[in-house]
Amino acid sequence: INFTVAIDFTASNGNPSQPTSLHYMSPYQLNDYAMALRAVGEIIQDYDSDKMFPALGFGAKLPPDGRA
């Protein structure tokens, strides 16, 4: 099984520094997305020979000019 992760960095998910965001980065617990990825990854890894999963991101605004 090949498992690849894609992360949505578009503004529609809200500011990750705000608790109301779907991507909120709490210093104390994982957000729902991170918990789901961990749960799936822990099962899928047993069926993957190298246990390495590519991760892709989209919709981010990258420095220095903030273009998506």
In this predicted model, what pLDDT tens digit does every residue of 1-60 receive, in sequence order? 888 999 888 888 788 889 888 788 899 999 988 999 999 999 999 998 888 999 999 988
Number of other residues whose CB lies within 10 A of the CB of residue 24: 19
DSSP tag of 35: H
pTM of the model: 0.72
Six token digits for residue 47: 């069926």
Categorize the per-residue pLDDT at 68 as very low, low, confident or very high, splitting at 50, 70 and 90: low
Question: What is the H or E stretch that residue 6 is in?
Answer: strand 5-8
pLDDT at 66 over 80: no
Count the residues in the chain: 68
What local confidence, expressed as pLDDT, does residue 16 receive? Answer: 85
Cβ 37 vs Cβ 5: under 8 Å? yes
